Structure formats: structure tokens, C-alpha cells
Structure 1
Amino acid sequence: MSELEQGNGQRPPTPVSGVDDGGHRRLAPRPLERPPVDPTLTTAFGRPHGVDGAFAGRAQAPRQQPVTLAPPTPEALSSAFGRPAGEGGTRLQRPPNLDASGEPEVEPVFWKGEPAGDAWRDPGASAVIGPPAVGEDPAKPADAPATPGPQLSVPELLFGRRVKPTALALLLVVVLAVGSAGGLVGWALGRMGNPLTDGSVTLAEVKTAKERPVGSVADVASRVTPGVVSIEFKGANIAGVGSGVVIDGAGYVLTNDHVVAPAVQDSSAKLTVVFTDGKRATARVVGRDSKTDLAVIKVEVTNPTVIQFGNSDDLQVGDTVLAIGSPLSLSNTVTEGIVSALNRPVTAAGENGGPAVTYDAIQTDAAINPGNSGGALVDSSGALVGINSSIRTETGGSVGLGFAISGNYARRVSQELIREGQVKHADMNVNVSSVSAETAEGARVQNVPADGAAAAAGIVENDVITKVGDRLVRNAAEFTVAVREHEIGETVPVVLARQGRELTLQVTLRSD
């Protein structure tokens, strides 16, 4: 029966190389499959040329290079580090106390009631210094006297009492002689070096000081400057320096509102007053008047220098005035000028969108710069006639057009702030704008609020106000300062032009 008939009718599986199929028969090996090799890979990873097996043949040993021997040892090194004379071979050097057997004499480990001869063997023995490493010279007797060494020189032991007295005396004489000769030579060379100098000249001392008559700028400045202070404000996002004037012995300081406004608006800011002697004090705001740019602060000090108010109405154009303050953070600065104009209405923008600042100013050509704000404007007697407030400039610096709030008005406002903490101004309750024509100029009424002083007096829109009381009105700013010159409740005559006719109405002023 064939193999096909003996099974289940199926062909037996293909035999695998070297594997028993269960019938104890060996199968033929499977054909070896050799895939083609990429020539590029053969070039990169194949065996080197001429190598057939897995290992290359033994390479020929390189030719031995001749060895360069070290030069002979110098004689100095041989005598210092070589073996002693008469000893050869390679054995170690032995100590000098060897016995006949070639071993050093060693005391027994155990002894009877006596200290050990070897200190290293007795734990209780004290440390001792051994014999010197260099042996004694056998040619020199043990009892021979020591030969004294040579005496030291003067520079080595001048005060060691080992120098010969004659040598020391001789050295001192030589030093004195050399020093004297050197001094004479130096003096002679100095005299010959520059014939224009003369060491014997003594200039005459000035005995009398410069005369400073009473009323001079120096005299006024020395008396007034201690009463003018610097005001520093500093917060998280702001910092600056202004000026102020001490107006009362209780520590009240008058300044501009725009100097203290940043510190009031920023809760983290702090106001500090610095006096001319360097004393510093924290300030608190007493009251502010943003409409006239005036404010009063207070510091806790004892016996400050106070500036007295003068009568600013007595000023005339051409009078000498001094501006004192801290311009550009330079404290105690004094500048001199004259009054160049009086009753100059000045209007400036309010702080952070607040109401416009309008005041009647004294115009001066005394140099005023940022930092002078709140400082003093004094006359030739040292009296306070104005509070420096602003400048007119196109460059940002002083050009001789400075403005100060009049002293009389500043005194009235500051006194009200100290008493009440606030101030009220006379008001006509009307809005005006500046207007000018070929024959006249004034303040034109834009609107008249109901139940106001102007409405009660019969003022209507488009009326042009040309005079309030005794003061001419040429623009809107001058109208404002003219009204504020009067008291609340006072009735003043107002001259106006209406449809080509001039009218005079009596207006009773009210509070703003």
C-alpha cells in the first residue's frame, strides 16, 4: 500500500529539514533562499577586499622603534638620594643599631616593674624628642667652646644690642649728613626752579565785610526765606515738588490748590513740608479753593518763621519784587524782578476736568518756573504781596511772564479756609463769553439761569456787560474777577449794552 493509501486519503505534509515526522524518518533540508543584495549596501557594510571569512588575518607586527635611554643621574642627585658608599645590591637600608644577626636590638615585650625603654611601647610614657638626624662630627671634641657668629649689621638689629656702639654712632652721623645735604640741595633747586614764586609772600586779609543796607535784596531774602517752605507730594503713581508760605504760627501754610490736588486725589500720596533748615513735617489739608487755585495745609511745628501780608493794592508797575520758592526742585531759590502789570485776569484749566481757575493776577518778570507754585512774591520790605501761581510760556520755561494771585485776595480766601474749611464766592449766576467790537468790548451773556441774581435784576441773553461796580469788563475772565471782588449779598451797579443802548442795572450778588 502506498503512503497515500495508508492515510486518510490526504498527501503527507512537505518534510522540513532535520525534523522527525513521527515515523522516525529524516526529512530533506529546505532549500536555502538567498535574496539579492543591494550593491550600495554591499559597498557600505560588506567585508573588506581580500577578506573571505568573518575575521581578518593577523597583521604583521609593527617594527620596533629604538628605545631612548635616560641620561645618567647627576652627581649632586646621586650623592643626595643614592645609597651610602659600600652598600650595593637591592636590599633596604638597615638602621645603624643592628646586632650580629642583622636584626635591631629590641627590648623584651614584658618587663618587671621598670618603664619600657621604648617610648612607643609604654602607653603612659610622655613624648620625647629623639636624637638629631645628623650625627655628631667625630673630628670635633664634645667639650670644645662654640665659635660666635659674626655680628649683625645695623639695618638688621638696630635695637637688639648686638651692634657695635661705634658702628651705630657712625651710622647716625652718616644719616644726618646725608639728610642735611639732601635738604640743602632741594632748597637750592626749588629756588632756582621758578624765579616767579616767593614763599615769603603773605596776602593781606580783608577785614571789613560787604555792606548790605536794610532793604537790599540780600537783607530781604535772609529775613523772608525761612518762612517759605518746599512741599513734596509722593504716592504710588505721582511725585512732585511745590512751594508754600507759612502764614500763621500754628503751622498753617498757604499754597496753590494744584500743588496739593494730586496728593488729595491719590489716597496713597503723602504731603511733606521741608523747611529751610532741613526739618521735615507731615502736612494735612485744611481746605481748598479750586476756583482761585488756593489751598491751606497745616504742619505740627513749634515757633516757625511767619511771613506777614502786605497791601497788594499799594503796588505800582515798576515796583521791585522777589519770587521765593523751589523752582525745578531747587529749594530756597530767590529771583528778582519788577511788577510788570496789575489786575491781569488769568484763566487756567481746572484739575482733572474741574472748573476753570480764574483770578486777578500780579504780573512780574521775576523768573518763575515749575516748582515756584505756591511760593511767595514779596515787596522790597519783605511783605507778602502775592502767591506765585502760573507762567505764560511757549517753551515750557520762564520767559519773563509770571503771574501771582494778589496778596489781599489770597489773605481773604486763606482766612476763610482756616475758619470754615471752605470758601464761597460772590456770583451773578450768569454764563458769559468774551466779545469785542470796533467800538467796545466786554462779556456777552450766553444764558441766564432762572431764579439767579442776573435774572432777578433783569439781565437777558445777548446783553454785553462792560462794567461791574467801578471796574471795566473787557472779557469773560475779567467779568468773573470783577464780581468776586465784592461780597455775597452786596448790590452792585452793572453797566451793559442792549440793542445799541447802554443800561445800568442794580444786581444783588448771591453765592456760587
Structure 2
Amino acid sequence: MDAYSQTIVEVAEALAASVANLQVTRRTRRGDALGAGSAVVIAPDGYLLTSAHVVEGSMAGTASFGDGRETGISVVGSDSLSDLAVLRADAGDLQPAQLGDAEELRVGQLVVAIGNPQGFSSSVTAGVVSGLGRSLPVGRRGGPQRLVENVIQTDAALNPGNSGGALVDSARRVVGINTALAGFGLGLAVPINQATRSIISALMRDGRVRRAQLGVAVAPRPLAPPIAARLGRRRGIEVVQVIEHGAAARAGVQPGDLLLAVDGVAVEDATDLQRLMVGERIGKPLQATLLRAGDERTVTLVPEELTA
């Protein structure tokens, strides 16, 4: 067997017991509907990680495992703004997957997708990381939308039912949770990184994720090089909208300001800001450093809780 095939076989065998197939029943206007998805075992006592949209609106569900066991599942917590959910299966002595770090991924790197596409359980596809730093709009239908940043793009074949399954590197570590089809031959996965681990911990602990907000909408990408060069700075996030009566408005923040730092931590894109807006900051004053018309200034803001 060639080295490429050997690597994929080893990944598939190592994760065979750590990726579950999900069947969920949802109540819709047309009656109950059966849906399928996948989940990754993250703790031996029954905790599973999946995509929030897989279990959204579900009434009941089951998980089946590589050893033949099939059990009921319950939703421990779901976060539509990251498209992640934690489930609890009525089973013990499960084999958890090893979680990796998507920050270490490189374009062109081999990845393997494992899941339950079209009801074909424990299916394995392989490809490469096609792109990094993609954006995925998520959120409840008809509700607020938020960009999940640094999403992984892959050409490993994904189909309906793969959502919630594992995207695995050649070292057998789960580096992403497959979440969406971007088009023919392209798929997207929510990265496993420090921010994702915080969300998982919050869902396991509290059943929900609390986020702070400053009351601004910011440009999702870093400043374009010509603008950054003209300003003489490389860091900074452009404020494109200030929410009326929000924390930023009360502090005097204006559209067009550049947000340079939050409590001394430099920020240069929306992901940096989202990472800092954890629940612990709600109601606690913080210092924000701004650049306006070439002048640097510091304002005090009191973040509020983001409500979906």
C-alpha cells in the first residue's frame, strides 16, 4: 500500500469509534421530519460535538457508534452563532477523538472527512485544505447573523449528513467540524482552535454561550495594505456602524474610527475582537484605543450581553 493510502487508512481506523451517526426528528409545519448528521465523541461519558443546525428544532434523536451501539441523545447546549452544539448520549465508555489545533493547518495539507453523508454511515473522504480564513455567515433563520471567521475550506467530498462530522489531519487529530457545502467540490468546516474550545467548555458547563458586545459593526477583514500604509499602522479594525444607544455610542465611538486595542490587547480583524468579547466582560468597564483622523484616543466602554 502506498504512503498516501496508508495515512488515510490509519486515520479512518483511528477515528472509527469516535464519530457517531445521528438521526434526529424535527417538528415542521408539514409534520415531523427525519434528519441525519454526524457527531464527534469528545468525552468517554457520552459527550458529543456536532453542528448546531443538525439538532436545531429537534424533538428526539439517536446516535449510533462504530461498535454497534445505538442510544438516545439529548442536547446539552447549542450555539447557533458558531454553529456548534454539545450532545449527551446515553452511553459510557466511549472513545473520544483527539482535538487538534486548526491554527497549525496549511493550504495543501491532507485532511480526511468522516461522517454520515446521505445516510451512508462511517463514510470517509479525503482531500486537502483548499483555503483558510474563510467566512461563514451563521445564525438563526430570521435572526441576527454573525460571521464565523477562519473557517476551513476543503475539497474532501462533503454531502448532507456530513454536518457535525470530523475533519481530521494526518496525525489523527480533529481540526474541524464539517458544517456546510460551499459549492461543487468545496466544503467548509468550523475550526478547532482556542475560541472553539471555549465555546465547547461553555456549552458543557452552562448549556449556552454568553457573549459581550460593544455595540459596533466592524469590517470583517484587516485593513487593505494601501490604507494601512497611508495611516502608518498595520493594526486596526474599521468601525463601520455604531449601534444607537449601545455601549460604543455612549462612549462617543463614531463610524470610521479605527479600533486599535481592547484593554491593551491589539486587534486587527473581527476574529480578534470576537475572541475578546467573552461573557466575563459583560458589565465590566474596559478601555478601547481608537484612531480618529490621525489622533489616537482612549475611551471607556461597558460591554452589554449579546442577545440572539
TM-score by length of 1: 0.50
Instruction: Kindly state the Cα deviation for residue 448 of structure 1 after the two structures are TM-superposed.
Output: 3.1
Q: Does 1:359 align with 2:148?
A: yes
Alpha-carbon separation, structure 2, partners of 1:492 and 1:391: 40
Any idea what SS the aligned residue of 2:54 has? helix
Alpha-carbon separation, structure 2, partners of 1:485 and 1:300: 33
Alpha-carbon separation, structure 1, partners of 2:290 and 2:211: 21
Q: Does 1:231 align with 2:25?
A: no
Instruction: Kindly state the Cα deviation for residue 431 of structure 1 after the two structures are TM-superposed.
Output: 3.5
Which residue of structure 1 lines up, in the alignment, with residue 249 of structure 2? 455
* Cα-to-partner distance string for 1:74-94 (whole Å, 9 max, x where unaligned): xxxxxxxxxxxxxxxxxxxxx
Q: Which runs of 5+ in 1 are unaligned?
A: 1-209, 264-268, 394-398, 474-478
Alpha-carbon separation, structure 2, partners of 1:341 and 1:456: 39
TM-score by length of 2: 0.79
CA 1:341–1:504 in 2, change beyond 3 Å: closer, same or farther?
Answer: farther
Given candidates 134, 145, 148, the residue that maps to 1:344 is: 134
Which residue of structure 2 lines up, in the alignment, with residue 138 of structure 1? none
The residue correspondences of 1:38-437 to structure 2 (distance < 5 A) are 210=1, 216-235=7-26, 236-263=31-58, 269-348=59-138, 350-360=139-149, 361-393=151-183, 399-408=184-193, 409-432=195-218
* Cα-to-partner distance string for 1:84-111 (whole Å, 9 max, x where unaligned): xxxxxxxxxxxxxxxxxxxxxxxxxxxx
CA 1:292–1:281 in 2, change beyond 3 Å: closer, same or farther?
Answer: same
Higher strand share: 2
Alpha-carbon separation, structure 2, partners of 1:253 and 1:387: 12
CA 1:211–1:437 in 2, change beyond 3 Å: closer, same or farther?
Answer: closer
Instruction: State how many pairs are aligned.
Output: 282
Alpha-carbon separation, structure 2, partners of 1:211 and 1:433: 46
- The amino acid of 2:249's aligned partner reads A
Any idea what SS the aligned residue of 1:412 has? helix
Instruction: Kindly state the Cα deviation for residue 411 of structure 1 after the two structures are TM-superposed.
Output: 2.0
Kept after mapping to 1: 8 A contact 2:213/2:277: no
CA 1:471–1:377 in 2, change beyond 3 Å: closer, same or farther?
Answer: farther
CA 1:433–1:300 in 2, change beyond 3 Å: closer, same or farther?
Answer: same
Kept after mapping to 2: 8 A contact 1:317/1:338: yes
Instruction: Kindly state the Cα deviation for residue 244 of structure 1 after the two structures are TM-superposed.
Output: 0.6
Any idea what SS the aligned residue of 1:285 has? strand
Q: Which has the higher contact order (CA 8 A, sep 6+)?
A: 2
- The amino acid of 2:21's aligned partner reads S
Kept after mapping to 2: 8 A contact 1:457/1:505: no
Alpha-carbon separation, structure 2, partners of 1:456 and 1:212: 60
Instruction: Kindly state the Cα deviation for residue 255 of structure 1 after the two structures are TM-superposed.
Output: 0.6
* Cα-to-partner distance string for 1:403-439 (whole Å, 9 max, x where unaligned): 1111023322111111111111242222456799995
CA 1:507–1:333 in 2, change beyond 3 Å: closer, same or farther?
Answer: farther
Any idea what SS the aligned residue of 2:57 has? helix
CA 1:506–1:228 in 2, change beyond 3 Å: closer, same or farther?
Answer: farther
Alpha-carbon separation, structure 1, partners of 2:4 and 2:134: 33
CA 1:230–1:447 in 2, change beyond 3 Å: closer, same or farther?
Answer: same
Any idea what SS the aligned residue of 1:472 has? coil
* Cα-to-partner distance string for 1:283-331 (whole Å, 9 max, x where unaligned): 0110111111111110111211210111222222222111111122221
Any idea what SS the aligned residue of 1:328 has? helix
Is the radius of gyration larger for structure 1 or structure 2? 1
- The amino acid of 1:280's aligned partner reads E
Q: Which runs of 5+ in 2 are unaligned?
A: 229-236
Any idea what SS the aligned residue of 2:245 has? coil
Kept after mapping to 2: 8 A contact 1:487/1:509: no
CA 1:300–1:434 in 2, change beyond 3 Å: closer, same or farther?
Answer: closer
Kept after mapping to 2: 8 A contact 1:433/1:446: no
Instruction: Kindly state the Cα deviation for residue 238 of structure 1 after the two structures are TM-superposed.
Output: 1.6
Alpha-carbon separation, structure 2, partners of 1:212 and 1:437: 42
* Cα-to-partner distance string for 1:327-357 (whole Å, 9 max, x where unaligned): 2222111111222222222213x33323224
* Cα-to-partner distance string for 1:54-73 (whole Å, 9 max, x where unaligned): xxxxxxxxxxxxxxxxxxxx
Instruction: Kindly state the Cα deviation for residue 222 of structure 1 after the two structures are TM-superposed.
Output: 0.4
CA 1:227–1:426 in 2, change beyond 3 Å: closer, same or farther?
Answer: same
Kept after mapping to 1: 8 A contact 2:110/2:127: yes
Alpha-carbon separation, structure 2, partners of 1:458 and 1:287: 36
